[in-house]
Amino acid sequence: MMLKELAEAFGPSGNEKEVRAVLRGAVEGHVEQMWVDSLGSLHAVKKGTSSSGMRVLLTAHMDEVGLMVIGHDEKGGLRVRTIGGIDERVLAGKAVWVGSERIPGVIGLKPIHLLEKKERSEVTPLRQLVIDIGAEGKEEARRLAPVGTTAVFATPFRELGTAVMGKAFDDRAGCAVLAELLRGEPFRHTLHAVFTVQEEVGLRGARVAAYAAEPECAFVLEGTIADDLPREKEGSPTSELGKGPVITVMDRSFTAHRGLLRLIVAAAEEAGIPYQFKQPGIGGTDAGAIHAARSGVPSAAVAVPCRYIHGPACLLQWSDLEHTAQLMRETLTRLTRRALRRD
């Protein structure tokens, strides 16, 4: 799967052009129709083999969290704000790419030698940080990175045995799975795939895409929180690495359709694919907007577990990515209108 190219592409919310180009190239020739909608989401329709098949919406979001330049200081530093949710604790000292031309920069940090004792136990708030791109003064900074320029973490993709590390696995992992599905054999149902924009800032791309697609049901593909790290007390991880695709029952944005949920679980068990439930009540996905489109869309969300999402470097297991694609194939093969019925 083409995760490397996708993860390294520059694509903070609202600037998804590079990701879109990578995906367009990946699915070209494997789908019958392709277009970009008014907000920038890439739609790709893969016709089903059956005339009585359904129109199934499959989405993955292209955008990633990032930073936006909001001003310049006298010494040439770029003042920034976050795009989407970033923990301020992870910012100081990190390398970033500024603009799609990837001007290298670093989020300035006072060296440890100069820290007051009190400062060592505090987080420097974002409003006190600047990106340093080596500009000599305000004018040069303004010319190289005017207000509105966006930046992302500068993290190259790396393979670590059975795992991989890189930025933006939320949701380039989902994009990779969806591209893989489109590149394969057609299903009975018509797949209306949408690589959405602006998920991280409020599910905006998915809202209009679902309205346009008018599907009978929807699957949202995600890269989700894996927090299977050592902890003080026995408790429930949101999801764990290596334990297979993560299925949402309920999160803060929607409750999964029970028929679809049963179908996904049955597909996993029959095909012998490992799976896990996402700890209910945490996070939200494009399904929050999609399920409420028009007269309502029965929806489900399936995700690849990823550690350290919304940070500079995420980590996932190849096996989880492959199992997610496999589970989606098995699910789409078994999908019938009966699964959507409500008495």
User: Annotated catalytic sites, by residue?
Assistant: 199
3-state secondary structure of 186: coil
Residue identified by tokens 């409420």 is: 292
297 binds another protein (CB under 8 A): yes
Q: Which is nearer to another protein, 13 or 253 (CB)?
A: 253
277 binds another protein (CB under 8 A): yes
Q: Distance between CA 67 and CA 130 in Å, rounded?
A: 11
15 binds another protein (CB under 8 A): no
Q: What is the DSSP letter of 107?
A: E
Choose one: 18-26, 146-154, 161-169, 251-259; the region binding another protein (CB under 8 A).
251-259
Residues contacting 199, CB < 8 A, separation 6+: 13, 61, 63, 171, 205, 206, 285, 286
118 binds another protein (CB under 8 A): no
CB of 307 to another protein, least distance (A): 19
239 binds another protein (CB under 8 A): no
DSSP H helices, 214-298, are 258-271, 287-290
Count of CB atoms situated within 10 Å of the CB of 181: 24
Residue type, 265: V
Q: Distance between CA 29 and CA 183 in Å, rounded?
A: 9
342 binds another protein (CB under 8 A): yes
Q: Which is nearer to another protein, 1 or 249 (CB)?
A: 249
**What is the Cα 120 distance to its own chain's centre?**
33
100 binds another protein (CB under 8 A): no
Residue of the chain from 239, 279, 324, 326 that contacts another protein (CB under 8 A): 279
Q: Kindly give the interhelix angle for 318-334 and 169-183, rounded to the nearest 10 degrees.
A: 50
298 binds another protein (CB under 8 A): yes
Main-chain phi, psi angles of 253, to 5 degrees:
-105, -25
Residue of the chain from 256, 263, 300, 332 that contacts another protein (CB under 8 A): 256
219 binds another protein (CB under 8 A): no
**How many residues line the site for another protein (CB under 8 A)?**
27
253 binds another protein (CB under 8 A): yes
**Rule CB under 8 A: which residues touch another protein?**
234-236, 249-250, 253-256, 258, 277, 279-282, 288, 291-298, 340, 342-343
